[in-house]
A and B are shown apart, each in its own frame.
Chain A
Amino acid sequence: MSDAFEQAFLAAVDDLNHGRLHDPDIYLRTVPAARNDEFTRRLSALMAARGPAAGDEQHSESYEAALAAVAAVKAAGGPAGILPGALRQLRKARGIERDAVIDQLADEYTIGAAGHDALRRYYHQLETGSLLGPKLSHRLLRSLARIFDADAEDFIAAVRPAIGSAGATGGAGRTRLGLAPAMGRSSGSDEPARGPAETGGGARGRTIGPDPDIERVEQLFCGGPAA
């Protein structure tokens, strides 16, 4: 090893031994640029070989659990962005039951019994990633942010479809899945209510019925940002 490489590597090992390893940049400043990758690789191998420090198991568990949580959020990403997975993880972290969320929404928007069932279905679809993010009303997102003690702007940003997903918008800002769901009332239809997820790719919604509470729920979940 060259002197500069050796000195930097020994400094890093010494810091590692004393549990005070700094940001790699600090060591890499004195390492020849051509050997930066080698330095990183060897130090990473040394750290991996040593494993976690004694007495740090509890910290490592929390760290690993947090990594698993964010990985789960990312894995659930889709047409409604990362919000679906995030809602599930936040409920788990804060001990919030799904029914509590639904009840709070029902109270805030004075949703009656018939609308309550629709609210439950749509919220389930939201958490399972079956809804289109761009169709969620910002009113709903702000309400959810209040319930979860979160920043509303975070929720609004989080429902942007994952880049490259089926629901992602193109450079011109147009959805690839088609038009907004039809919001008009069906006249005398006896068909059972179905959410957007059951009507072919989430692009179109079906009216569940003429009940004003149900329509209000549809507006919240499918009516677009300004609904």
Chain B
Amino acid sequence: MNDPDRLDEAALRRLDDLALEALRFELLRDGDVRYEHVVEHLLARGIAAIEPLVTELGELRVLVADQHQRVVGDASVRLQLRLARPERLPSIETLASQLAVACLDAVSPAPAERPRLAARRPQLRTIETQLRGAVHEGRIKPNRGDQS
């Protein structure tokens, strides 16, 4: 049952994220030592998703190199902990994104939006009302056709 032989590398690489996750859950539930190998594949994919996301968001928050490295490591270890859960998990990309953002926020919170002044409530009037008023006041004269 706990066959230490590894699953075929090519077969694991061909699995999409959700299939790999389903396999992880199944092997973990069954106490199959090969679950660790599947976790290695998931982690490789997860870290590959975390790193560029932290790079992209980190640039907006002006992260220095050391912070970048720590955030990627932080999120990766948390991902590793999450993959120990004996339950069905979202796709590795979803998990990686969630954890990367959370770890980034812990180091450098997202900049708050600048407060905007609320526009004054417009006093709307229909065009007909305005025209009627302007004609009544003599500001404009109705177009009688012969003047166009």
Contacts and interface: CB of A to CB of B under 8 A. Distances in A.
B51 interface: yes
A62 B69 contact: yes
B133 interface: no
User: Per DSSP, are chain B's interface residues mostly helix, strand or loop, or mixed?
Assistant: helix
Contact of A164 (B2, B52, B72, B81): B2
B78 A73 contact: no
Interface stretch (B9-17, B112-120, B121-129): B9-17
Interface of B: 2, 4, 10, 13-14, 16, 31-33, 35-36, 43-44, 47-48, 50-52, 54-55, 65, 68-78, 80-82, 84-86, 103, 106
Contact of B77 (A37, A59, A63, A69): A69
A86 B51 CA distance: 19
Contacts of B50: 66
Interface of A: 23-25, 28, 36-37, 40, 58-59, 61-63, 65-67, 69-70, 73-74, 81-83, 86, 89-90, 92-95, 149-151, 153-155, 157-158, 160, 162-164, 171
A216 B59 CA distance: 47
Contacts of B81: 82-83, 86, 150-151, 154-155, 157-158
A106 B68 CA distance: 32
B106 A89 contact: no
A66 B51 contact: yes
Contact of B43 (A70, A93, A151): A70
Contacts of B14: 24-25, 28, 36
Contacts of B35: 163
B31 A89 contact: no
Contacts of B71: 93
B54 A164 contact: no
